[in-house]
Amino acid sequence: MLKPEDVHYLEVQRLHLQTKLDASKTQEERNRLGQFATPPALAIEILERASMLLEGDRKQIHFLDPAFGTGAFYSALLKVFPTASIQAHGYDIDTHYGNPAQRLWRDTPLILTLGDFTQATPPQTEAERVNLLICNPPYVRHHHLPPVEKIQLQTRVQHMINIHLSGLTGLYGYFLLLGHAWLREGGLAGWLIPAEFMDVNYGVQLKHYLTTQVRLIEIQRFDTSISQFEDALVSSALVWFRKEHPSPHQEVSLRSGGTVSKPEIIKNVALSQLKPTIKWAALFTASHRSNPASSQRAPKIKLIDLFTIKRGIATGANRFFILTPEKISRYEIPHKFLQPILPSPRYIPSDEIEADQIGNPKLARRLFLLVCDQPEDRIRDRWPMLWAYLETGIQQGIHKRYLCRHRSPWYAQEHRPSAPFLFPYMGRRNANGDLPFRFILNHSKATAPNVYLMLYPKPTLAKAIQQHSALLESIWRGLNSISDEILLKQGRVYGGGLHKLEPCELANTSAERLAAYLPESVVNAPQQLPLFT
Ligand SMILES: C[S@@+](CC[C@H](N)C(=O)[O-])C[C@H]1O[C@@H](n2cnc3c(N)ncnc32)[C@H](O)[C@@H]1O
């Protein structure tokens, strides 16, 4: 039997090992296999929580960590539970971590298999299955999974648990579902996974599993401004469930902020509220227990009914294609090849952009996009200075960049006219805790780079604006009256507190608040007029 001081000594050794092994791999190599260790304090908190949730089932612990690494959870397990009660099993695909980990833990009750957990044959009898599975699986994104491997994983999951995972699912989703066959009836599982599964389309199947195949106990979402892993930009959630039938009347504890032992907010919601097809993020923060009927009601009017929403222009190389007045005069770039373009939102102090007489934005930072699709020969002959500038781009290899080499000529830009309303689509809360989202009213002719979403009024609304230009301002006020809660519900949050709203998410946002600022003829038009497509 291991003594507490042995366990402590082993943990000190493990931490040395972890540092050494991480340092001898590049960040890229670690990304490929999702090798980001759980901080020791978090591992201990998780095992302490497991000990509370295990209730009477703690006398004999049969433990599994399918993505073992050096054993952060196993070490915490030895600390929290009496070692005499432990029988443990781990998997890791990478001998770089696996071999030293086997040596470190050789005198302890662990069998560490060096191999691919997703290919491993699960136990065939209940006695062999585990009653505690804790895992921080590899967060390998779907586009890093080779297509053949992805199909194999999908087939395996389908075969084992009859769920077809979307091809957009990261490796962690397969781990979670394949773990099912390793759990004993009534066994407890704690999965530390990216929180995004609750809010993205590919998460629907995972949410379906969590709400219909097992008894979901609680989900803790960690404060997004503190990424759990210093070196990985993901916000994580700790999902706890028991392998038993869910009860239709059960509640699930949604916890957020703070730590595992002291969450800042705890909301108990009915299982029936956790519909797989809705985003769960808002349920953690809703200030009251929302009435499922009203909170899930589809809005009568959405932004997509009123606007065409496009991402701003992706130039392929902003430093080259976006020019300052100094560069323009140095290379004598003709005005007809320039279109004003907005700087990044941080250079736009006010939410309203005024324009000068020719439509240039009145901003301290003045920028212009090079828009020229004339053939090279013609430019060389007629505008030699512009040609000299383009040659500097060739020397820098700009013409070989992905977007440029797919254009003809390589320096041509998409046509992206100015839009009256702009929405910076990502950002962090400011020092006062305010969200970064705001709608900007643009009176200028400037186009916008792809850090903005551009809202172009659809024909009926455009016509109404043409008839009453004061409507522009009302719409702008109406857009800014859309609450943070509504925007948050649509968007997503990444580690480090980065909020994002993609074009389709903004398009799906309710425009019911905005509708109050619009003439009735416009609000009722989407259903009546074919102009709204
Ligand atoms: C996020 S780390 C977690 C390590 C450790 N359990 C911890 O919490 O610190 C994920 C681990 O999974 C391993 N891994 C990646 N793909 C795997 C696979 N297919 N089968 C088993 N282990 C895998 C990686 O080598 C890495 O050690």
Residue 249 CB burial class (10 angstroms; 0-12, 13-18, ≥19)? exposed
Which amino acid residue places its CA nearest to atom 25 of ligand 1?
94
- What is the rounded CA–CA span in Å between residue 169 and residue 176? 11
Give the distance (Å) from ligand 1 centre to CA of residue 35. 6
Q: For ligand 1, is residue 37 a contact (CB within 6 Å)?
A: yes
| DSSP state, residue 272 | G
Residue 166 CB burial class (10 angstroms; 0-12, 13-18, ≥19)? middle
Which of 435, 434, 440 minimizes the C-alpha distance to 452?
440
Count the alpha carbons within 13 Å of 42 in the hemisphere toward its beta carbon. Answer: 23
More confident residue, 525 or 245: 245
Q: Map out the domains of the chain as residue ranges.
A: 4-295, 303-371+413-523
The answer to whether 137 and 170 have CB atoms below 8 angstroms apart is: no
Give the distance (Å) from ligand 1 centre to CA of residue 515. 50
Which stretch of DSSP H or E encloses residue 326?
helix 325-330
Predicted pLDDT of residue 295: 43
Residues 6+ away with beta carbon under 8 Å from 384: none
Which amino acid residue places its CA nearest to atom 19 of ligand 1?
116
Give the distance (Å) from ligand 1 centre to CA of residue 427. 31
Which of 183, 158, 188 minimizes the C-alpha distance to 173?
158
Residues of the chain above pLDDT 70, percent: 91
pTM over 0.75: no
Predicted pLDDT of residue 328: 97
Select from 22, 64, 95, 117 the residue to mutate for testing ligand 1; criterion: most ligand atoms less than 8 Å from CB.
Answer: 117
Give the distance (Å) from ligand 1 centre to CA of residue 175. 10
Q: For ligand 1, is residue 236 a contact (CB within 6 Å)?
A: no
Please, which residues bridge with residue 39 across strands?
A: none
Select from 29, 68, 227 the residue to mutate for testing ligand 1; criterion: most ligand atoms less than 8 Å from CB.
Answer: 68
Residue 171 CB burial class (10 angstroms; 0-12, 13-18, ≥19)? buried
Which amino acid residue places its CA nearest to atom 11 of ligand 1?
67
Q: For ligand 1, is residue 67 a contact (CB within 6 Å)?
A: yes
Q: How confident is the model at residue 495 (pLDDT cuts 50, 70, 90)?
A: low
- What is the rounded CA–CA span in Å between residue 446 and residue 420? 10
Which amino acid residue places its CA nearest to atom 5 of ligand 1?
69
Give the distance (Å) from ligand 1 centre to CA of residue 68. 5
Which of 228, 190, 176 minimizes the C-alpha distance to 40?
228
Q: For ligand 1, is residue 31 a contact (CB within 6 Å)?
A: no
Q: For ligand 1, is residue 92 a contact (CB within 6 Å)?
A: yes
Q: Token pair for residue 279? A: 């985003």
Render pLDDT for 74-93 as a digit per residue (tens, 0 to 9). 999 999 999 988 999 999 99
Residue 374 CB burial class (10 angstroms; 0-12, 13-18, ≥19)? middle
Render pLDDT for 347-371 as a digit per residue (tens, 0 to 9). 998 999 999 999 999 999 999 999 9
More confident residue, 513 or 161: 161
Q: For ligand 1, is residue 169 a contact (CB within 6 Å)?
A: no
Select from 17, 24, 30, 35 the residue to mutate for testing ligand 1; criterion: most ligand atoms less than 8 Å from CB.
Answer: 35
Which amino acid residue places its CA nearest to atom 12 of ligand 1?
67
CA distances from 53 to 106, 117, 129, 215, 230 (A): 29, 25, 18, 12, 28
Q: For ligand 1, is residue 196 a contact (CB within 6 Å)?
A: no
Beta strands at 251-256 and 86-92: parallel, antiparallel or unpaired: unpaired
Which amino acid residue places its CA nearest to atom 22 of ligand 1?
92
Q: For ligand 1, is residue 252 a contact (CB within 6 Å)?
A: no
| pLDDT at position 293 over 50 | no
Q: For ligand 1, is residue 234 a contact (CB within 6 Å)?
A: no
Which amino acid residue places its CA nearest to atom 10 of ligand 1?
138
CA distances from 198 to 34, 61, 192, 201, 254 (A): 20, 30, 13, 9, 12
| pLDDT at position 142 over 60 | yes
Predicted pLDDT of residue 298: 64
Neighbour order of strands in the sheet with 265-270 = 110-114, 86-92, 61-65, 130-135, 183-194, 236-242, 215-221, 251-256, 265-270
Render pLDDT for 383-431 as a digit per residue (tens, 0 to 9). 999 999 999 999 999 999 999 999 999 999 999 999 999 999 888 777 7
More confident residue, 149 or 298: 149
Predicted pLDDT of residue 296: 46
Give the distance (Å) from ligand 1 centre to CA of residue 276. 27
| pLDDT at position 19 over 90 | yes
Helix pair 171-178, 204-212: axis angle to 10 deg: 20
Q: Which atom of ligand 1 is nearest to the CA of 139?
A: 1
Q: For ligand 1, is residue 118 a contact (CB within 6 Å)?
A: yes
- The CATH architecture assigned to 4-295 reads 3-Layer(aba) Sandwich (3.40)
Q: For ligand 1, is residue 35 a contact (CB within 6 Å)?
A: yes
Q: For ligand 1, is residue 36 a contact (CB within 6 Å)?
A: yes
Give the distance (Å) from ligand 1 centre to CA of residue 96. 11
- What is the rounded CA–CA span in Å between residue 440 and residue 201? 29
- What is the rounded CA–CA span in Å between residue 308 and residue 417? 13
Which amino acid residue places its CA nearest to atom 8 of ligand 1?
38
SS3 call for 416: coil
Whether residue 122 has a cis bond before it, omega within 30° of 0: no
Q: For ligand 1, is residue 476 a contact (CB within 6 Å)?
A: no
Q: Which amino acid is at 507?
A: A
Predicted pLDDT of residue 235: 79
Q: How confident is the model at residue 12 (pLDDT cuts 50, 70, 90)?
A: very high
Q: For ligand 1, is residue 22 a contact (CB within 6 Å)?
A: no
Render pLDDT for 155-197 as a digit per residue (tens, 0 to 9). 999 999 999 999 999 999 999 999 999 999 999 999 999 998 9
